[in-house]
Amino acid sequence: VMAYHANSSSLLADAGHNLGDVLALVFSWLANRLLLKPSGPRYTFGFKKITILASMSNGLLLMFSCGIILVDAISMLIYPQKVLAVDVMIVAAIGIAINGSTALLFMKGAHHDLNIKSAFLHLLYDTAISVGVVIAGALIYFTQWHWIDPIMAFLIVIIILTGTWRLLKEAFTLIIDG
């Protein structure tokens, strides 16, 4: 909502990515709960592949989000609008605080557990994306070059798509028992 209020594609991209992260955690939690269910006559192998389906769902959701972000960014390039740079910087700074402090919680365990290390790195990347949005907001504030915002959104989409494509490839390979 704040991204639309501020007319910011980069803030929308950052928020969309963070929303995808939250949904990924929810899907993963639900999938892990289903893993605990025993097999039975209807599901003879239980729910062993449910975590793969959760990963695939997360990937597809992120791809869909990237599509929305790209449409918004293209529209902002074709029909430039004033970006409320201060609002963008404030909201992105909140993202830095949340993602950065959460990453610090995972930092200690990242040395001993690969799963914790991947969560730590993901949160660190999210923090870096929010830093990029703050920098874009500052550049817009001082230069009034509003085209910087959709360009930053494109960069964020590239980052998201790179990681998501790898996730989708791996999930697909596991689904077809590759």
User: From CA 41, how far away is CA 170, in angstroms rounded?
Assistant: 29
The model carries a pTM of: 0.75
Q: Are 172 and 59 in contact (CB under 8 A)?
A: no
- Give the tokens for residue 149: 């915002």
Question: What does the CA dihedral 137, 141, 147, 152 come to, rounded to 10 degrees?
Answer: -10
How do residues 96-152 score in pLDDT, each as one tens digit? 998 899 888 878 776 776 556 767 777 888 888 899 999 999 999 999 999 999 999
